[in-house]
A and B are shown apart, each in its own frame.
Chain A
Amino acid sequence: MANSSATAEGFFTRERIGEWLRKYAIIAILIGMVALLSLATGGTFLQTQNLINVVRQMSVIAILAIGLTVVIISTGIDLSVGSIVALSAVVATSLAQSQDATNLMYPGLSVPVVVAVLAGLGVGALAGFTNGFLIAFFRIAPFIATLGMMTAARGLALIYSDGRPISRLTDEYNFFGQGAILEIPVPIVLLVVVAVAAHVMLNNTRFGRYVYAIGGNEQAARVSGINLRRVKIGIYTFSGLLAGLGGIILSGRIGSGNPQLGTGAELDAITAAVIGGTSFSGGIGTVWGTIVGALIIGSLNTGLDLLNVSPFTQQVVKGVIIVLAIIIDERKNR
């Protein structure tokens, strides 16, 4: 056993291959899937425009999933991100309507687009902060606290918009969903910025290591002097902030603030995080893994569309993949 790795033919031992497969299974799955879809679509899938579409369409889910990655690493969960998307969208769009719109929320009020964006982000962060506060100070289970927020935030979005989409937005606002910088769609640019920032936060800041520590062993983290409340509030505020950003991008892309936006998005985001190797037992997860997870979902959606697979079947496929991902995850952690 000891000499198996020293000999040349011993390099490809079953253990090593197994370890490699477990470690890079996700990337292998993504590559395999892209290859398969390329063949099946006769190369259409691999065209640049299609690939950009794939990434653009999954960018909001990926941004939400990055927030959820941070939450899940700490053994929490955030079910409210989909609803926060809607709340942030209606608030931000209400401040970004063209003055010639017929259904102006605030007739005569014209603010710079940055105010609308900050309002959207602020609403998201505030909702997330509320989640964190409830979890940290009232010791409500994250599932319950964010389930409450999921319901309440959706209701607030409907109340605020009176149940109707807020439309005729300024071009400056729509830029966040439809624009491009150096031919790269803005949602993708924002995703990259968020991913890099989150990666640095998780790996190179005290706060990030505290997130992993709480997920790894909350009691040990407490004895190590970590202020659990502060970190938890930070975690959920971050998730809410990203959901706010998601709301801005999504409403900008469709050019209206619809209070039904983001319905069910939390589940796609959780799926992406989990496929990407984030562990519900806590302490494990990376931003890059989550992005690969989101890419898998994105290419699956687009690819199956290209193949004319019915949306009903697509759901079954997604369901199977999420369960498979969990099984791989369990084996990884033994």
Chain B
Amino acid sequence: MADEYLLRMDGISKSFPGVRALDDVHLEVMPGTVHALMGENGAGKSTLMKVLIGMYHADRGSITLGGQPVVIPDTATALRLGISMIHQELSPVPEMEVYENIYLGREPRNRLGLIDKRRMIAQTRELFARWEIDINPRAVMKDLSVAQTQMVEIAKAISYDARLIIMDEPTSAITEREVDHLHRMIRSLKSTGVAVIYITHKMDEVFKVADRVTVFRDGRHVATVAAEELDRAKLISLMVGRELTHMFPKEHAEIGEVVLSVRGLTRKGKVDNVSFDVHRGEILGIAGLMGAGRTEILEGIFGVAKIDAGEIVMNGKPIRIREPGDAIAAGIGLLTEDRKLTGIMGVLSVRDNMTIASLGRFSPTGILDRRRMDAACRAQRDALAIKTPTLDQLIKLLSGGNQQKVLVSRWLLTTPEVLMIDEPTRGIDVGAKAEIHRLMSQLAGEGKAIIMVSSEMPEILGMSDRVIVIHEGRITGEFTRAEVTQEKIMAAATGLATAA
């Protein structure tokens, strides 16, 4: 039986420690079509694509390409099979010239076995001419704008003569004119029989370029539908249509007066005039898609990054925050999103990791009171049920959930009035998740104000007293616990609705 599909992925499953990223997922792509992949953050789209190009290895499942079963152990094999990918995070070598980036790793050689520069430049020029890309092949990569860099990446992906090109959020960094350009390129590729898998959060684009749409949710395949049979409402309901479980109990807490007010917070190109209040005893959820600017808001408040405009008011008094130390002194804490990159200090002990933000408390004279420190650490360990053999244990040897609890302790020891938590339960197992949620409830009950950024819809819905939604750096929706729904959040997060 001849296979009408260019690509079939069957029964693909992939787990990471504590997370089931893909659960028995299938995907079929026809040649000469654009197939959009949609879903919330963490739905499994990017993971599936990384399996396809050999960056991840599936635990189970099979891949058939052009009717032939294939095994793709690495990206080189994927390229050889005619699959190329434009990554969401661009990865050019900034110090190299454009043509060198295009031919990186597959430089043509001349008769002497040396790299044939002239041929590379000529071919790049040809490639750019064919696709109407107005960039000098001899320009140095780092001098290009983000949009130009993106176009180079796109041209590079095409230049492999791939039969299947994966584009992961290709338009997140480019202007409308270039988006149109890209879409023209895609249509032209289609006409030559190339298939495109197009991952995006932007609904307009889906309806503009896609022939078929597959929706993922929580690592599962939800539906594959022809684009003309879809409308926005139907697409949103496919993306969010999960039953709400009661895993996320926000207990009742007395909501008090305003603790922190953010007024007109602006970071050029990232955060645009964001204002909100948060009250004692309240959990304020900040929802939005990846890259919407949620983390950037927290960084701006906390002094991790410079703000271009805006005012932070704490208990009615405007405060000046130039660096994180100022924010901590004012009674604000920030548990960052990336535990490994900006959270834990892996080779240091649980004790060190717990106390690093509050050492001043234990050393009025500069000399540490070790006994008081240990007592405080033990109290935290017991209160949060942190599983560690001793306080001297290196934190990198703990599970993700216990690491996260240590980081919560780090901030509790600074006795903050406002605790900002970015993705409180990312990458930790279900049991630890529930514990972190209970802990957040309890802290709110004690009168702390909590600002929670989360990409997990159930977490936002279950934990928040109030939700604000961010889209392209602006607040596009604000909902009370009573009125918030998945559909309303998704509509605001994709820019379809604006704040009432």
Closest 10 CB pairs of A and B: A216-B345, A225-B325, A224-B357, A283-B347, A225-B328, A217-B345, A216-B348, A219-B342, A206-B359, A225-B324
Please pick, from A223, A225, A279, the residue contacting B347 in the complex, using a CB distance under 8 A. A279
Shortest C-beta distance, B315 to chain A (Å), equals 19
Beyond contacts A213-B352, A217-B341, A217-B343: 16 other A-B pairs, Cβ-Cβ < 8 A, are A204-B367, A205-B367, A207-B366, A210-B359, A212-B348, A216-B346, A216-B352, A217-B342, A219-B341, A219-B342, A220-B343, A223-B342, A223-B343, A224-B356, A225-B357, A333-B347
With an 8 A cutoff between CB atoms, is A322 at the interface? Answer: no
With an 8 A cutoff between CB atoms, is B189 at the interface? Answer: no
Query: A284 to B324, Cβ gap below 8 A?
Result: no
With an 8 A cutoff between CB atoms, is A209 at the interface? Answer: yes
With an 8 A cutoff between CB atoms, is B68 at the interface? Answer: no
Shortest C-beta distance, A216 to chain B (Å), equals 3
Query: B356 to A221, Cβ gap below 8 A?
Result: yes
Q: Pick 27 A–B contacts, CB within 8 A, sort by A.
A: A204-B370, A205-B368, A206-B359, A210-B356, A210-B359, A212-B348, A213-B356, A216-B347, A217-B341, A219-B342, A220-B336, A220-B344, A221-B345, A222-B304, A222-B324, A223-B324, A223-B336, A223-B343, A224-B356, A224-B357, A225-B324, A225-B325, A225-B327, A227-B325, A282-B347, A284-B347, A333-B347
Residues on the B chain within 8 Å of A152, using CB: none
With an 8 A cutoff between CB atoms, is B334 at the interface? Answer: yes
Residues on the B chain within 8 Å of A225, using CB: 323-325, 327-329, 357
Bin the interface of chain A by size.
20 to 34
With an 8 A cutoff between CB atoms, is A46 at the interface? Answer: no
With an 8 A cutoff between CB atoms, is A38 at the interface? Answer: no
Please pick, from A206, A215, A221, the residue contacting B363 in the complex, using a CB distance under 8 A. A206
Shortest C-beta distance, B334 to chain A (Å), equals 6
* A261-303 with Cβ < 8 A to chain B: 279, 281-284
With an 8 A cutoff between CB atoms, is A321 at the interface? Answer: no
Shortest C-beta distance, B79 to chain A (Å), equals 32
* B382-441 with Cβ < 8 A to chain A: 410
With an 8 A cutoff between CB atoms, is B99 at the interface? Answer: no
Chain B interface residues (CB < 8 Å from chain A): 302, 304, 323-325, 327-329, 334, 336, 341-348, 352, 355-357, 359-360, 363, 366-368, 370, 410
Q: Which chain A residue has the least Cβ–Cβ distance from B351?
A: A209
Query: A206 to B352, Cβ gap below 8 A?
Result: no
Hey, what's the 0/1 contact readout for A186-205 against B, CB within 8 Å counting as 1?
00000000000000000011
Q: How far is the CA of A205 from the CA of B370 in the complex (A)?
A: 10
Residues on the A chain within 8 Å of B348, using CB: 212-213, 216, 283
- Once A216-B348, A217-B346, A225-B328 are accepted as A-B contacts, the answer to whether A209 and B304 lie under 8 Å apart by CB is no
Residues on the A chain within 8 Å of B410, using CB: 224
Q: Which chain A residue has the least Cβ–Cβ distance from B410?
A: A224
Query: B336 to A206, Cβ gap below 8 A?
Result: no
Shortest C-beta distance, B369 to chain A (Å), equals 9
Residues on the B chain within 8 Å of A217, using CB: 341-346
Residues on the A chain within 8 Å of B347, using CB: 215-216, 279, 281-284, 333
Q: How far is the CA of A282 from the CA of B345 in the complex (A)?
A: 10
Query: B324 to A224, Cβ gap below 8 A?
Result: yes
- Once A209-B356, A212-B348 are accepted as A-B contacts, the answer to whether A227 and B323 lie under 8 Å apart by CB is yes
Q: How far is the CA of A209 from the CA of B304 in the complex (A)?
A: 21
Tally of A-B residue pairs with Cβ under 8 A?
84
Residues on the A chain within 8 Å of B327, using CB: 225
Shortest C-beta distance, A69 to chain B (Å), equals 15
With an 8 A cutoff between CB atoms, is A226 at the interface? Answer: yes
Q: Which chain A residue has the least Cβ–Cβ distance from B355?
A: A209
- Once A213-B348, A225-B325 are accepted as A-B contacts, the answer to whether A220 and B342 lie under 8 Å apart by CB is yes
Shortest C-beta distance, B90 to chain A (Å), equals 22
Please pick, from A206, A213, A220, the residue contacting B360 in the complex, using a CB distance under 8 A. A206
Chain A interface residues (CB < 8 Å from chain B): 204-207, 209-210, 212-213, 215-217, 219-227, 279, 281-284, 333
Please pick, from B325, B345, B370, the residue contacting A220 in the complex, using a CB distance under 8 A. B345
Q: How far is the CA of A313 from the CA of B329 in the complex (A)?
A: 58
Shortest C-beta distance, A138 to chain B (Å), equals 18
Q: How far is the CA of A210 from the CA of B348 in the complex (A)?
A: 11
Residues on the B chain within 8 Å of A216, using CB: 345-348, 352
Shortest C-beta distance, A246 to chain B (Å), equals 26
- Once A209-B356, A216-B347, A216-B352 are accepted as A-B contacts, the answer to whether A223 and B368 lie under 8 Å apart by CB is no
Residues on the A chain within 8 Å of B328, using CB: 224-225
Please pick, from A204, A223, A227, A281, the residue contacting B304 in the complex, using a CB distance under 8 A. A223
Q: How far is the CA of A219 from the CA of B345 in the complex (A)?
A: 9
Shortest C-beta distance, A73 to chain B (Å), equals 10
Residues on the A chain within 8 Å of B366, using CB: 205-207
Q: Which chain B residue has the least Cβ–Cβ distance from A207?
A: B366
Residues on the A chain within 8 Å of B304, using CB: 222-223
Query: A206 to B324, Cβ gap below 8 A?
Result: no
Shortest C-beta distance, B344 to chain A (Å), equals 7
Q: How far is the CA of A210 from the CA of B352 in the complex (A)?
A: 9
Q: Which chain A residue has the least Cβ–Cβ distance from B327?
A: A225
Q: Which chain A residue has the least Cβ–Cβ distance from B299?
A: A223
Q: Which chain A residue has the least Cβ–Cβ distance from B360?
A: A206
Most buried by B among A205, A215, A227, A279: A205
Q: How far is the CA of A279 from the CA of B347 in the complex (A)?
A: 10
Q: Which chain B residue has the least Cβ–Cβ distance from A222?
A: B324
Residues on the A chain within 8 Å of B370, using CB: 204
Shortest C-beta distance, A155 to chain B (Å), equals 33
Q: How far is the CA of A215 from the CA of B357 in the complex (A)?
A: 15
Shortest C-beta distance, B327 to chain A (Å), equals 8
Q: How far is the CA of A123 from the CA of B344 in the complex (A)?
A: 38
Shortest C-beta distance, B398 to chain A (Å), equals 15
Q: Which chain A residue has the least Cβ–Cβ distance from B341?
A: A219
Residues on the B chain within 8 Å of A226, using CB: 325, 356
Residues on the A chain within 8 Å of B344, using CB: 217, 220
Q: How far is the CA of A148 from the CA of B360 in the complex (A)?
A: 35
Shortest C-beta distance, B356 to chain A (Å), equals 5
Q: How far is the CA of A205 from the CA of B323 in the complex (A)?
A: 22
Query: B367 to A223, Cβ gap below 8 A?
Result: no
Q: How far is the CA of A282 from the CA of B347 in the complex (A)?
A: 8
Residues on the B chain within 8 Å of A333, using CB: 347
Residues on the B chain within 8 Å of A227, using CB: 323, 325
Please pick, from B324, B336, B363, the residue contacting A205 in the complex, using a CB distance under 8 A. B363
Q: How far is the CA of A205 from the CA of B302 in the complex (A)?
A: 26
Shortest C-beta distance, A204 to chain B (Å), equals 5
Shortest C-beta distance, B340 to chain A (Å), equals 8
Residues on the A chain within 8 Å of B343, using CB: 217, 220, 223
Please pick, from B302, B355, B360, the residue contacting A223 in the complex, using a CB distance under 8 A. B302
Most buried by B among A212, A213, A216: A216
Shortest C-beta distance, A275 to chain B (Å), equals 19
Q: How far is the CA of A224 from the CA of B335 in the complex (A)?
A: 9
Query: A209 to B342, Cβ gap below 8 A?
Result: no
Residues on the A chain within 8 Å of B302, using CB: 223
Q: Which chain B residue has the least Cβ–Cβ distance from A279?
A: B347
Shortest C-beta distance, B275 to chain A (Å), equals 24
Q: How far is the CA of A204 from the CA of B366 in the complex (A)?
A: 8
Q: Which chain B residue has the least Cβ–Cβ distance from A208?
A: B368
Query: B345 to A213, Cβ gap below 8 A?
Result: yes
Residues on the A chain within 8 Å of B345, using CB: 212-213, 216-217, 220-221, 283
Q: How far is the CA of A254 from the CA of B410 in the complex (A)?
A: 52
Q: Which chain B residue has the least Cβ–Cβ distance from A213?
A: B356
Q: Which chain A residue has the least Cβ–Cβ distance from B359?
A: A206
Shortest C-beta distance, B403 to chain A (Å), equals 12
